[in-house]
Amino acid sequence: MNRILLSLLLTLPLFAAKKPNIVFIFSDDHASHAIGAYEGWLKSVNPTPNTDRLAAQGMLFKNSFCNNSICGPSRAVILTGKHSHQNGFMNNGNKFDGDQQTFPKILQKNGYRTALFGKWHLKSSPQGFNQWKVLPGQGQYYNPDVLTANGKERLEGHCTDVVTDLSVNFIKQQAKDGEPFLLMCQHKAPHRNWMPAMCHLYLYDDITIPEPATLFDKWEDNASPARWQELEIDGHMHLNYDLFYNFSVKTPLAGKENSDRSAARNLHRMIPTQLSIWNSHWDPKKRSSHQSEPSGQGSRALEVSTLRQELPPVRQRSRRVCRHHHGKSRRPGTR
């Protein structure tokens, strides 16, 4: 599981430069080849122009290592600066001991206002933060519940927009208060299942996504973990729960099949207007896919490609009024 995190130190001209503001942006399961600055096989898609700009104007780590890439353990390592066997959180079944030293606690003791918004995935309640609103567990993409110091609440909208809004509002408030701050903005996206904001459903319909060179690789010349992984497009992506082939509110939320069914749970969280937009996007694609008859080695991949259609002009206009959209080159994951 590759995980890319972006740590950005910002010194804003809001107060004395003695204590720089710190904005930490964390994306989940964000592969390096999906960040344009790393010049991977998706570079032609221009997936992250704003992130690329940060890399060009700052630092780009090309030879970095992760001491634990699993979701929860990676977060515990970042907070504590300790290896998993030392901080006690070695897999997602553990519970993080929040009483131990963390870098937000150190900053807080040194005059920083600290805030955490988004994915937490450590089971215990956050410590060392003046403000926090975190997703329970993996969280949901649509109208997510968030845990706070005062209990649980539900926030309407897409999770990425919700977390971004909370983060931006915190920065604006700190600009008024004049205190140095640490903000940890931790997104759920682009974690499986891949369900974007409604205004981004059509974002790539007019773009050809290149196939990876390893699409049909058998991994025969690799170590055994490469052959036993369950992350392949043709063998492990579920036609309904991942690709939405026959996907609707009637799709089972549970069953004997060992599949990630979070997409079905997300669909049931949509309000009527969201569900209507979702159906207007996917229904024509499903009909087109059902009418095709793919065959051969690439049949599964071909079924995926048939879900793409020409971008209707009305939807093309809607992309330019999407929340947090700041230019035509805007792509998901570049807030």
How deeply is 164 buried, as exposed, middle or buried, from its count of CB atoms within 10 A (0-12, 13-18, 19+)?
Answer: buried
145-156 pLDDT, tens per residue? Answer: 999 999 999 999
Q: How far apart are CA 83 and CA 69, in angstroms?
A: 12
- The tokens describing 27, both together, are 């994306």
Q: Is 208 exposed, middle or buried (0-12, 13-18, 19+ CB in 10 A)?
A: exposed
Tell me the sheet residues that pair with 134. Answer: 118, 147
Residue 330 has pLDDT above 60, yes or no: no
Identify the pLDDT of residue 296: 60
Is 239:232 a contact under the CB 8 Å cutoff?
Answer: no
**End-to-end C-alpha distance for the chain, whole angstroms:** 22
Q: Identify the pLDDT of residue 14.
A: 41
Instruction: Quote the CA–CA distance of 65 and 310 in Å, as a whole number.
Output: 41
What are the percentages of helix, strand and coil residues in the chain, rounded to 5? 35, 10, 55
d(CA 303, CA 293): 8
Residues 6+ apart with CB under 8 A from 298: 215, 216, 234
Q: Which residues contact 156 (CB under 8 A, 6 or more apart)?
A: 143, 271
* Mean of pLDDT values over 83-92: 96
Give the span between the Cα atoms of 236 and 294, in whole angstroms: 18
For the cut 50, the answer to whether the pLDDT of residue 299 exceeds it is yes
pTM: 0.84
Provide the edge-to-edge strand list for the sheet that holds 145-148: 5-10, 21-26, 181-186, 113-119, 131-135, 145-148, 151-154
Name the more confident of 98 and 243: 98
Q: What is the pLDDT of residue 218?
A: 87
pLDDT at 6 over 60: no
Domain residue spans in the chain?
Answer: 5-30+66-186, 207-309
* Mean pLDDT across 224-235: 85
Identify the CATH assignment for 5-30+66-186 out of 3.40.50.12780, 3.40.50.200, 3.40.720.10, 3.40.640.10: 3.40.720.10
Q: How many helices (H) and strands (E) does the chain have?
A: 11, 7
Q: What is the pLDDT of residue 298?
A: 53
- Sorting pLDDT into bands at 50, 70 and 90, what band is 65? confident
- Would you put residue 46 in left (φ > 0), alpha (ψ -120 to 50) or beta? left
Closest CA to 334 of 129, 175, 197: 197
